[in-house]
Structure 1
């Protein structure tokens, strides 16, 4: 049976990014509050209530979905802050909320039974048993799978659940448990799931000296860049370290997930939506990635049997990839 193509879900870290995603073909956007209920709580990004209302109106008036990410874990003594975020999302009329915290899922189901619930990738559901549990207990209608499963494993989940499945299609990879970053916590005492940002800006230091730029996180040297190199944002997982007398990317080399070449397989196994990572990125990035993936999905819908990846699509996405490198990530494990 030929299946529909997946929805395209794109990041909106700001109002201009939201409009860029909508204008260039996203089926839905995901966004968050300007506080630590949001796992991408970077300084200068995200939405206050006024911008949130304008963004929701802009997207929904064009028949695009708006998904609210309240995807950090509630902190001790502050559960009411996360409850207010869910209440606010319901009042604003978003199309779904993306949650990871089990207590918050229970609250949303009880307090707002009409609100559509999605399980965040932060929930780390890697099996259909986990997906079916959150459906049974909390009425979750979609789950975002972690970027650690092969395509065959994704298919196994889909075959054994009625919950819609969303997978990542483009953007940064995470060597941690999808945002539960022990490295950031070790270095700074804070992590994406406590303050909503990987390598919080207040701990970042840039040190220029003759011929080079050094980057540090809370005093820890992450990397040194020559004058001819672009200096990346200092995250421990993508730093270059001396190991056994060699300096290299010891944990993870900067690279981006790119599923263009396996889009037909993703559609064939019944994936409901593909997601672009990058709420911390610019509106130009969002526009270019959205436009490219929209073109690919439309081509797939028109002629699935003869679908092929256009060199222009790969060229466009390669410009936006970390380290100008792309990978299929865990979807393809040739060593198995």
Structure 2
């Protein structure tokens, strides 16, 4: 089969350093957020102010790459101005697109900055062509990021039924895959991830030494207990170990990373416009290494899709970086229809 058009490789940037490494390693676009609650990765020490945002856009633009700004939480009723200001900052910095979930912010952006390209965030939970076309018709969105709940065939159905560009996640941490609809952390902390900007607010996380082991707690709730030689993940309720009917194990979701390298040619043949790498909260070194692997893989699949194979070196590199050092195809290979 002849070569096919490669999708954009969209990589995370939790800092200016990560942005530069992603661009240099081959990202077609980077996505980032501001240092406030408008951003669903609102961790201390990460993200961008207006000055670093402008510098990042200039760095990427000089190398022919794009910058996308994530405005992917929902505005608070008592202070929507912070979200309005984030839209204004995106427009002032001349980002290539705004990734947005809140329809009020879509309306504000379309009214105040009609030249600003809008992408529908995964936090909007749009899983059908009808839902995506609603956002396109009323708010002019030009790309939609699909939640990680669809099988491969369902992704294909969406692509056949909408003219909106489709972006899918290719690699990175998984949750219980109900983006935009999860209430687990609200139960434990009283803070919604759709408003507070993070699943497990750092202020609620505690690590406690007990009997030679380390306990991870979220607002007092025991999430996990790690022995001295066990790797420790960031404590989230969905990936905690709990006692259920006398057995202690991962009750909801096991720590693992999505890895779609094995189905990359299939996604490309379907017409997926962009592959997204998760991980704005991860280190610049992580971003650089994952970007390099995916750049090589996309280029190889585009040049010869029928001869594409996952190189052992790619698997080894991603395995070292995966959560729990495990890979999965997630919903793509699950039998539900």
Question: Aligned partners of 1:176 and 1:311: how far apart in 2?
Answer: 28
Asked if structure 2 preserves the Cα contact closer than 8 Å seen for 1:191 and 1:199, the reply is no
> What TM-score comes out, normalization by structure 1 length?
0.98
Question: Aligned partners of 2:164 and 2:273: how far apart in 1?
Answer: 9
Question: Aligned partners of 1:251 and 1:334: how far apart in 2?
Answer: 18
2:260 match? 259
1:243 match? 244
Question: Aligned partners of 2:14 and 2:64: how far apart in 1?
Answer: 20
Within the alignment, does 1:103 sit opposite 2:110 as a pair?
no
2:184 match? 183
Within the alignment, does 1:311 sit opposite 2:312 as a pair?
yes
> 1:179 offset after TM fit, Å?
4.4
1:139 match? 140
What is the number of residues matched between the two proteins? 336
Asked if structure 1 preserves the Cα contact closer than 8 Å seen for 2:41 and 2:281, the reply is yes
Root-mean-square deviation (Å): 1.2
1:163 match? 164
1:217-245 Cα shifts (integer Å, max 9, x gaps)? 00000111001111221111100001111
> 1:197 offset after TM fit, Å?
1.2
> What TM-score comes out, normalization by structure 2 length?
0.97
Runs (4 or more) in structure 1 with deviation over 6 Å come to: none
> 1:335 offset after TM fit, Å?
6.7
Asked if structure 2 preserves the Cα contact closer than 8 Å seen for 1:180 and 1:192, the reply is no
1:71 match? 72
> 1:2 offset after TM fit, Å?
6.0
1:151 match? 152
2:279 is paired with a residue whose SS is: coil
1:286 match? 287
Asked if structure 2 preserves the Cα contact closer than 8 Å seen for 1:121 and 1:146, the reply is yes
203-212 vs 67-76, which moves further: 203-212
Question: Aligned partners of 1:11 and 1:192: how far apart in 2?
Answer: 19
> 1:176 offset after TM fit, Å?
4.9
2:34 match? 33
Structure 2 gaps, min length 5: none
1:194 is paired with a residue whose SS is: helix
Within the alignment, does 1:300 sit opposite 2:295 as a pair?
no
